[in-house]
C-alpha cells in the first residue's frame, strides 16, 4: 500500500489503538490521491499556523479519532464560522471524510492521518484551539487494557496547553465505566471547570450530532454520557 494511505506515528510502548490498514475502497483511495493536497496535513511538516492553513483567522476545533467522519463533516457544514481539524489513524475513515468533504465543497476542514499524541506534541500551537472533541473512544473495557485508554492524565495535561483560555474540552462515551474514568481524570486535573456541577455529566450540546454509533448503542441499552470542561 502506498505510504500516503498509511498513518504517521512515532513508535511508543502503549497506544490507545491497534494499527491496522483496513480495507480502503477505490473512492476513498481516489479521494486521498486527488484531494489530499487540499485536505490532508502531515505530521512531518511540524508546527502549523492556523491562519496560513485556512487562509483566515477563525476559531479552530480539533477532533481526536473521528472514525468515518460523518459527525465531523456535519459540524464543519453547520458551523462555517469555525475551522475543523480531525485526527484519525485508520485510512478508510480519512478517505471517506475527504471524499465526502470534497463532494460537498466543505473547505473549513483538514485531516491528519496520524497518531493524535504525535500531532498534539509536534504540530498544534499552544492556546490555539477553541474546542477539543473526543467522541466514543475505544473503552478498552478489560481491566488489563485500561492503560490503553486515550483519556489519561498525561493527555489531558497536553490538551490543556493547546486550548485557549475558556476553550472547551468535550468528551462523550456510551460506556458507564469509561465515563466514570473520564470524570475521575478530569476532576483531578487543575485548570478545568465542569460545565455541569462537579461529579455530574452534561446534556448533549446542540453542536454534537447524534451518530449512527450512538443510536445503535442506545438500542442496546447504552446510555451516552457527555462531559464538558472549560479551560480556566
> Which CATH superfamily is 35-231 part of?
Vaccinia Virus protein VP39 (3.40.50.150)
Reduced to 3 states (helix: H, G, I; strand: E, B; else coil), residue 129 is strand
**C-alpha cell, 107:** 473547505
pLDDT-based confidence at 49, cuts 50/70/90?
A: very high
Q: Average pLDDT over the chain, rounded to whole? A: 89
Q: What is the pTM of this model?
A: 0.88
Which of these is catalytic: 118, 121, 138, 174? 138
Three-state SS letters, 177-202: HHHHHHHHHHHCCCCEEECCCCCCCE
Range of weakest confidence among 14-18, 80-84, 183-187: 14-18
Is residue 138 annotated as a catalytic residue, yes or no? yes
Q: Where are the domains of the chain?
A: 35-231
pLDDT-based confidence at 146, cuts 50/70/90?
A: very low
Amino acid at each position: 500500500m502506498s505510504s500516503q494511505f498509511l498513518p504517521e506515528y512515532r513508535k511508543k510502548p502503549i497506544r490507545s489503538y491497534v494499527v491496522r490498514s483496513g480495507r480502503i475502497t477505490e473512492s476513498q483511495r481516489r479521494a486521498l490521491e486527488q484531494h489530499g493536497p487540499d485536505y490532508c496535513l502531515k505530521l512531518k511538516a511540524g508546527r502549523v499556523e492556523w491562519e496560513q492553513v485556512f487562509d483566515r483567522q477563525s476559531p479552530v476545533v480539533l477532533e481526536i479519532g473521528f472514525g468515518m467522519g460523518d459527525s465531523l463533516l456535519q459540524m464543519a457544514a453547520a458551523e462555517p464560522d469555525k475551522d475543523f481539524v480531525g485526527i484519525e489513524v485508520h485510512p478508510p475513515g480519512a478517505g471517506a471524510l475527504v471524499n465526502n468533504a470534497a463532494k460537498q465543497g466543505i473547505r473549513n476542514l483538514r485531516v491528519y492521518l496520524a497518531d493524535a499524541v504525535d500531532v498534539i506534541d509536534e504540530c498544534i500551537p499552544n492556546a490555539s484551539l477553541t474546542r477539543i472533541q473526543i467522541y466514543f473512544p475505544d473503552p478498552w473495557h478489560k481491566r488489563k487494557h485500561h492503560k490503553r485508554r486515550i483519556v489519561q492524565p498525561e493527555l489531558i495535561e497536553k490538551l490543556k496547553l493547546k486550548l485557549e483560555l475558556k476553550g472547551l474540552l468535550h468528551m462523550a462515551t456510551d460506556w458507564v465505566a469509561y465515563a466514570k474514568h473520564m470524570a475521575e481524570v478530569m476532576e483531578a486535573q487543575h485548570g478545568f471547570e465542569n460545565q455541569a456541577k462537579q461529579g455530574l455529566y452534561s446534556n448533549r450540546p446542540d453542536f454534537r450530532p447524534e451518530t449512527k454509533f450512538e443510536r445503535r448503542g442506545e438500542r442496546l441499552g447504552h446510555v451516552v454520557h457527555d462531559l464538558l470542561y472549560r479551560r480556566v
